[in-house]
Amino acid sequence: MIKLLLLALLFFLGYSFFQLLFPARRQRPKDRNFSTHHPQGETMVEDPQCGKYLPVSEAISARVGGQQHYFCSHKCRKEYTHKS
Ligand SMILES: [Zn+2]
């Protein structure tokens, strides 16, 4: 019987020791996730075709006449590249 008690005590001590070494990590919300769509302060670009402003991550970039342009859609890009 004493052996069982000792075992329980040992288990308890081991458990406490384990908790001391590895305190439960606080779950932190990942608020700095760079893969999210609209981080504040993202560069806005203007679509030269329709004049719409959109974040650079959503824009379709194209080189037109050696200059980098950003478009809101493939349609705009196509229309712009055909125009110039
Ligand atoms: Zn457009």
**What confidence tens digit (pLDDT) does each residue in 8-38 have?**
999 999 998 888 888 776 666 655 544 445 5
For residue 81, how far is its CA from the centre of ligand 1 (angstroms)?
12
Q: Has residue 82 been placed in a domain?
A: yes
Counted domains in the chain: 1
For residue 27, how far is its CA from the centre of ligand 1 (angstroms)?
42
pLDDT of 31 reads: 53
pLDDT of 35 reads: 47
Q: Has residue 26 been placed in a domain?
A: no
Contact 38, 55 (CB under 8 A): yes
Q: Has residue 5 been placed in a domain?
A: no
How many other C-beta atoms are found inside a 10 Å radius of the C-beta of residue 66? 5
Q: Has residue 27 been placed in a domain?
A: no
pLDDT of 18 reads: 85
3-state secondary structure of 63: strand
As a whole number of angstroms, the distance between CA 80 and CA 67 comes to 12
As a whole number of angstroms, the distance between CA 78 and CA 64 comes to 11
Q: Has residue 71 been placed in a domain?
A: yes
The pLDDT tens digits for 42-73 are: 899 999 999 999 999 999 999 988 999 999 99
How many other C-beta atoms are found inside a 10 Å radius of the C-beta of residue 73? 15
pLDDT of 38 reads: 54
